[in-house]
């Protein structure tokens, strides 16, 4: 168990005035059996006015609208979370498990992923699994393979890149690693979901995967090739990144936008 | 039907319909084309006793479909009890995970259901399709009746027919039943380039609801408001939305949508406004789920279905696949994801090569298709020039779910103008008739 302090700061600047800016932010850690949110504070600018809710995936959200003209939009969420409280997480809603078994949105396989999958299945020995392995062991073997075969590279993909396209490129960022792994797990009949969150250090948000085995969720980080224990804070889950997109907005005007995200997570 | 007086008025009625803008817009090859929806004056006549039977079956079906939707977006008992395989839920394009755990006002999902039926040559009625998203078509027989009464009042004096102009009242009752906090009731249209724009404006006028587009509605403090011309805001309690789920709210669904209302889904989830019909209904009306509706009726209501499906096979099941392959030439095959008469092929119309290709596809994606026996429709006469000629026709019945299920005593009869075609969809050039339900 560790206690982590986090500070998630996002700012968008507009070159011309924006109005009717609608926002939905899913950036609030949730209590579960692996993490406990001791406190958090949220502040939105220019107006600190918002509604709160929970989406159907169980993610907390805040949303609202800045109607009047404004030149920037920013939010900051800080807090303290106890992490590493357990090795696996509880299934919050039994009725929702089904959605994590099927391809959806950015995790729909096409020829490239199918080719990769077929190759893995053909060379099971080399892949390091047997059919009698548990889903957990299979997923770990899969994570090692993806980590080995896929290259980390910034600025080649964006938030709308599909697992299929990332596989074709052979490189990408944490979101792409997570999408590819989620897609392949589901092809292997292992329920899997995308997780948005943060990791100790300084920089950006992070993404990884949870797989289901024996009625429990296990968190695996294919970007870093690690089984998650006490260095990650979970913010949201979904079938793909779009279900738990940290912030989403539509607005009028605004001209060119520059977005700066700064995340700090450190042990306390 | 030998009422020459009414038939002589066909031309006049069609002219009036054109003047009222009773048109159908369709997009083909990226261009918008508006065409008249041709009216045929020979009505479909259904006797009272026969309609009583249809009414009983339609109510039963729509009640079961509503229970199914409620179950699917919560406990999924019907899946756990192995009545419906989960593949047909989670892999369905109409299923929306965003609606999980969301309870619409008074638990009603499908307020307005358009159920398509055909009558076979054996005089039996069969359900062809359920439409639970935004079924359209009620306005056409409504206005046709109105105009026919003007053109040929004597016809309606001597024949005892249920007055179908009460649809507006039934619809209003349905909308009022779920209205939250007595707010306004609005009909949300994507605008005049929509195929059914005439219907949107006509129903608004007839029910006294506001006809609005997305930019006239805003969400504030978790409530929905109608913004008046002078900028004043008034609370909205019910939205009869005539735009599809994915365009309803750019913050929750398609972010590119400019015809929706940001955050409307969030306030709907909180129970602060009713959406008619509920988002997510597509999971209950795709062609794959259709197969299971008789099973749903037994499962939820413990009753035998009053109205039958057309005999349907699900290649997803091995046994059915075998039957389909053995009887390929006498079946009609339908792609479950398609609508509007598209994605329908008759086994006997394919060349050898097409057939082989199709069977390969069927084997690789069995869940994607259903196969049905071809029903020999009972033909209905239409007027062609001065002659009466038989054509295929179906019937879209409307079932409204208010404080109780209500079946509109009329319906949209659509016919194919092509003598060899079974496809009656208006988007494919068909015409329509009024449907008379005799009151005694």
Domain identity same for B167 and B110: yes
Long-range CB contacts for residues B339-348, cutoff 8 Å, separation at least 24: B340/B425, B340/B427, B340/B428, B341/B423, B341/B424, B341/B425, B341/B427, B341/B428, B344/B423, B346/B374
Domains of chain A in start order, with CATH, are 2-85+247-267 (2.60.40.2250), 89-243 (3.10.620.30)
Q: Which residue of A has its CA nearest to B78?
A: A95
Give the tokens for residue A242: 């779009």
Domain identity same for B83 and B181: yes
Residue A205, pLDDT above cutoff 90: yes
User: How high is the mean pLDDT of chain B?
Assistant: 92
Is the preceding omega at residue B5 within 30 degrees of 0, hence cis?
no
CB-hemisphere CA count at 13 Å for B171? Answer: 28
Q: For residue A256, give how far its alpha carbon lies from the nearest alpha carbon of chain B (Å).
A: 18
A99 and B270: CB-CB below 8 Å?
Answer: no
Domain identity same for B188 and B337: no
Domain identity same for B66 and B50: yes
CB atoms within 10 A of CB B321: 18
Q: For residue B273, give how far its alpha carbon lies from the nearest alpha carbon of chain A (Å).
A: 16
Domain identity same for B285 and B317: no
Total tally of structural domains belonging to chain B: 2
CB atoms within 10 A of CB B219: 26
Residue B28, pLDDT above cutoff 80: no
Q: Could you give the CA distance from residue B416 to residue B418 in angstroms, rounded to a whole number?
A: 5
Domain identity same for B318 and B190: no
Domain identity same for B330 and B412: no
Which of B79, B91, B98 shows the shortest C-beta gap to A102? B91
Q: Of B323, B348, B373, which residue sits at a domain end?
A: B373
Which of B75, B218, B250 shows the shortest C-beta gap to A250? B250
Q: Which residue of B has its CA nearest to A252?
A: B258
B99 and A56: CB-CB below 8 Å?
Answer: yes
Interface test with chain A among B91, B93, B257, B262, by most A beta carbons within 10 Å:
B262
Q: For residue A151, give how far its alpha carbon lies from the nearest alpha carbon of chain B (Å).
A: 30
Parallel, antiparallel, or unpaired: how do β-strands A257-267 and A35-45 relate? Answer: unpaired
Q: List CB contacts (< 8 A) between A249 and chain B.
A: 251
Q: Could you give the CA distance from residue A90 to residue A253 in angstroms, rounded to a whole number?
A: 44
Q: List CB contacts (< 8 A) between A95 and chain B.
A: 74-76, 100
For chain A, give percent helix, strand, coil, nearest 5.
Answer: 25, 45, 30
B90 and A53: CB-CB below 8 Å?
Answer: no
B222 and A243: CB-CB below 8 Å?
Answer: no
Domain identity same for B230 and B358: no
- For A138-179, what is each residue's pLDDT tens digit? 999 999 999 999 999 999 999 999 999 999 999 999 999 999
- For B211-259, what is each residue's pLDDT tens digit? 999 999 999 999 999 999 999 999 999 999 999 999 999 999 999 999 9
- For B272-306, what is each residue's pLDDT tens digit? 999 999 999 999 998 899 999 999 999 999 999 99
- The CA-atom distances, in angstroms, between A248 and each of A59, A241, B252 are 14, 12, 9
Which of the four pLDDT bands, split at 50, 70 and 90, describes residue B344? confident
Q: Of B325, B357, B373, which residue sits at a domain end?
A: B373
Q: Which residue of A has its CA nearest to B249?
A: A250
| H-helix or E-strand spanning residue B235 | strand B233-241
In this structure, what are the phi and psi dihedrals at residue A83, rounded to the nearest 5 degrees?
Answer: -120, 170
What count of CB pairs under 8 Å joins A to B? 60
Give the tokens for residue B278: 């509920």
Domain identity same for B12 and B84: yes
A98 and B250: CB-CB below 8 Å?
Answer: no
What contacts B379, CB < 8 A, 6 or more positions away?
B390, B391, B392, B393
Domain identity same for B36 and B90: yes
Which of the four pLDDT bands, split at 50, 70 and 90, describes residue B17? confident
A99 and B98: CB-CB below 8 Å?
Answer: no
- For A31-76, what is each residue's pLDDT tens digit? 999 999 999 999 999 999 999 999 999 999 999 999 999 999 999 9
Residue B93, pLDDT above cutoff 50: yes
A101 and B90: CB-CB below 8 Å?
Answer: yes
A24 and B251: CB-CB below 8 Å?
Answer: yes
Is the preceding omega at residue A46 within 30 degrees of 0, hence cis?
yes
What contacts A20, CB < 8 A, 6 or more positions away?
A65, A66, A67, A251, A252
Which of the four pLDDT bands, split at 50, 70 and 90, describes residue B25? low
Query: Residue A2: its pLDDT value, please?
Result: 95
Domain identity same for B117 and B58: yes
Give the tokens for residue B317: 């099941």
User: How high is the mean pLDDT of chain A?
Assistant: 95
- The CA-atom distances, in angstroms, between A38 and each of A27, A52, A194, A264, B63 are 15, 19, 24, 17, 47
Which of the four pLDDT bands, split at 50, 70 and 90, describes residue B423? low
- For A221-248, what is each residue's pLDDT tens digit? 999 999 999 999 999 999 999 999 999 9
What contacts A252, CB < 8 A, 6 or more positions away?
A18, A19, A20, A21
Q: Could you give the CA distance from residue B89 to residue B69 in angstroms, rounded to a whole number?
A: 11
The most confident of A209-223, B9-23, B358-372, B415-429, by mean pLDDT: A209-223
B221 and A24: CB-CB below 8 Å?
Answer: no
Q: List CB contacts (< 8 A) between A55 and chain B.
A: 98
Domain identity same for B93 and B205: yes
A56 and B100: CB-CB below 8 Å?
Answer: yes
Which of the four pLDDT bands, split at 50, 70 and 90, describes residue B340? low
Q: Which residue of A has its CA nearest to B270?
A: A53
Instruction: Kindly give the residue spans of alpha helices, DSSP state H, lying in chain A.
Output: 111-122, 124-127, 135-149, 163-169, 174-187
Q: Which residue of A has its CA nearest to B100?
A: A56
For residue A18, what are the β-bridge partners? A70, A253
CATH number, domain containing residue B337 = 3.30.1490.270
Q: Could you give the CA distance from residue A64 to residue A127 in angstroms, rounded to a whole number?
A: 48
Chain A residue set in contact with B, beta carbons under 8 Å: 22, 24, 51, 53, 55-57, 63, 65, 93, 95-96, 98-99, 101-102, 104, 239, 243, 248-250
What contacts B98, CB < 8 A, 6 or more positions away?
A55, A56, B252, B253, B265, B279, B280
Which of A51, A53, A65 shows the shortest C-beta gap to B262? A65
Domain extent at residue B114 = 4-304+377-437
Residue B1, pLDDT above cutoff 50: no
Query: Residues A91-114: what's their mean pLDDT?
Result: 95
Which of the four pLDDT bands, split at 50, 70 and 90, describes residue A211? very high
Q: List CB contacts (< 8 A) between B98 and chain A.
A: 55-56
Q: For residue B341, give how far its alpha carbon lies from the nearest alpha carbon of chain A (Å).
A: 26
Interface test with chain A among B90, B215, B365, by most A beta carbons within 10 Å:
B90
Residue B376, pLDDT above cutoff 80: yes
Q: For residue B7, give how far its alpha carbon lies from the nearest alpha carbon of chain A (Å).
A: 53
Which of B79, B100, B251 shows the shortest C-beta gap to A250? B251
Chain B residue set in contact with A, beta carbons under 8 Å: 74-76, 79, 86, 89-91, 97-102, 218-222, 250-252, 255, 262-263, 266, 269-270
CB A263 within 8 A of CB A205: yes
- For B191-202, what is each residue's pLDDT tens digit? 888 878 899 999
């Amino acid at each position: 168990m560790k206690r982590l302090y986090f500070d998630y700061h996002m700012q968008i600047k507009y070159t011309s005035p924006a109005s009717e800016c609608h926002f939905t932010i899913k950036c609030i850690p949730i209590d579960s059996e692996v993490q406990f949110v001791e406190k958090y504070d949220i502040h939105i600018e220019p107006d600190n006015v918002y509604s709160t809710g929970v989406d159907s995936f169980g993610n907390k959200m805040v949303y609202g609208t800045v109607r009047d003209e404004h030149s920037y939009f920013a939010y900051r969420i800080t807090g303290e979370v106890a992490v590493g409280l357990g090795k696996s997480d509880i299934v919050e809603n039994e009725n929702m498990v089904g959605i994590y078994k099927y391809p959806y949105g950015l995790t729909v396989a096409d020829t490239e992923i199918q080719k990769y999958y077929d190759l893995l299945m053909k060379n099971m020995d080399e892949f390091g699994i047997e059919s009698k392995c548990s889903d957990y062991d299979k997923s770990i073997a899969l994570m090692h393979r993806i980590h080995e075969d896929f290259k980390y590279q910034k600025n080649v993909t964006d938030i709308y890149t599909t697992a299929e396209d990332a596989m074709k490129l052979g490189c990408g960022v944490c979101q792409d690693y997570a999408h590819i792994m989620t897609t392949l797990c589901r092809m292997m009949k292992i329920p899997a979901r995308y997780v948005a969150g943060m990791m100790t250090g300084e920089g950006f948000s992070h993404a990884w995967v949870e797989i289901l085995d024996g009625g429990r969720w296990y968190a695996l980080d294919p970007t870093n090739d690690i089984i998650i224990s006490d260095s990650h804070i979970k913010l949201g889950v979904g079938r793909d990144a779009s279900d738990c997109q940290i912030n989403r907005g539509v607005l009028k005007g605004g001209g060119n936008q520059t977005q700066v995200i700064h995340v700090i997570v450190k042990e306390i | 039907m030998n009422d020459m007086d009414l038939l002589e008025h066909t031309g006049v009625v069609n002219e009036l319909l054109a003047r009222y803008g009773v048109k159908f817009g369709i997009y083909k090859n990226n261009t918008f084309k508006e065409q008249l929806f041709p009216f045929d004056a020979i009505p479909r006549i259904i006797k009272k006793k026969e309609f009583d039977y249809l009414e009983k079956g339609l109510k039963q079906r729509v009640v079961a479909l509503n229970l199914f939707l409620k179950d699917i977006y919560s406990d999924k008992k019907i899946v756990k009890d192995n009545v419906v395989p989960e593949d047909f839920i989670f892999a369905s394009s109409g299923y929306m995970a965003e609606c999980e755990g969301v309870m619409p006002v008074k638990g009603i999902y499908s307020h307005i259901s358009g159920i398509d039926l055909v009558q076979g040559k054996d005089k039996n009625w069969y359900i062809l399709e359920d439409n639970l998203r935004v079924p359209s078509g009620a306005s056409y027989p409504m206005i046709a009746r109105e105009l026919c009464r003007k053109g040929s009042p004597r016809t309606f004096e001597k024949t005892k027919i249920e007055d179908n102009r009460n649809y507006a009242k039934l619809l209003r009752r349905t909308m009022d039943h779920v209205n939250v906090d007595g707010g306004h009731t609005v009909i949300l249209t994507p605008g005049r380039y929509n195929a059914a724009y005439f219907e949107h404006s006509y129903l608004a006028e007839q029910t006294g609801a506001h006809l609005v587009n997305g930019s006239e509605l805003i969400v504030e403090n978790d409530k929905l408001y109608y913004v008046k011309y002078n900028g004043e805001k008034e609370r909205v309690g019910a939205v009869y939305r005539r735009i599809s789920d994915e365009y309803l709210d750019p913050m929750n669904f398609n972010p590119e949508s400019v015809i929706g209302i940001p955050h409307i889904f969030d306030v709907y989830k909180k129970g602060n406004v009713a959406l008619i019909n509920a988002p997510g209904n597509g999971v209950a009306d795709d062609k794959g789920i259709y197969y299971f509706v008789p099973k749903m009726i037994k499962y939820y209501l413990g009753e035998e279905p009053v109205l039958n499906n057309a005999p349907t096979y699900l290649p997803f099941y091995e046994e059915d696949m075998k039957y389909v392959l053995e009887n390929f030439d006498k079946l009609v095959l339908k792609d479950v994801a398609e609508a509007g008469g598209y994605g329908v092929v008759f086994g006997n119309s394919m060349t050898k090569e097409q057939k082989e290709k199709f069977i390969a596809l069927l084997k690789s994606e069995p869940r994607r298709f259903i196969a049905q026996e071809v029903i020999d429709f009972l033909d209905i006469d239409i007027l062609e020039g001065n002659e009466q000629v038989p054509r295929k026709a179906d019937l879209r019945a409307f079932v409204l779910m208010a404080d109780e299920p209500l079946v509109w005593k009329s319906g949209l009869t659509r016919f194919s103008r092509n003598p060899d075609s079974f496809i009656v969809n208006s988007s494919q050039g068909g015409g329509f008739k009024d449907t008379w339900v005799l009151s005694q």
